[in-house]
Amino acid sequence: MTPSGASGRTRADLTFTPAAELLRLYRARRVSPLEVMQAVLARIDAVNPRVNAIVTLTRESALESGLPVGLQIVGKRRGEAAVLRAAAAFEKAQPWADHIPPVARVEDTT
């Protein structure tokens, strides 16, 4: 694995790489999930000052392996009921207690 990513890819390229392609690159060990996360964090650093889309960024949690700490669901102003319904539907469809971290699934298939 190279600092610039797989096959001369730049960090910016990694942030726009489709998930299916990233999975292929992970399995081929041409890029690591850590490299992709570092690229995403670099992209956030470059863009977020202009757009202010990410209010709280927990870099340490982003770089740790394991389950996500939380999921932010955003809705329209005064649309709390819709946001709560969406969150409940998501939890029902994907219970976190049964969730296997994606990195663990990739490691299991190699």
Q: How do residues 4-57 score in pLDDT, each as one tens digit?
A: 444 556 766 899 999 999 999 999 999 998 899 899 999 999 999 999 888 888
pLDDT score of 81:
87
Name the residue with higher pLDDT: 76 or 16: 16
pLDDT score of 79:
81
Do 76 and 46 lie in one domain? The reply is no
Mean pLDDT of 83-98: 77
Q: Which domain holds residue 100?
A: 67-110
State how many domains the chain has: 2
57 residue type, one letter: L
Do 54 and 1 lie in one domain? The reply is yes
CA distances from 48 to 4, 38, 54, 92, 97 (A): 22, 15, 7, 32, 32
Do 49 and 19 lie in one domain? The reply is yes
Do 80 and 26 lie in one domain? The reply is no
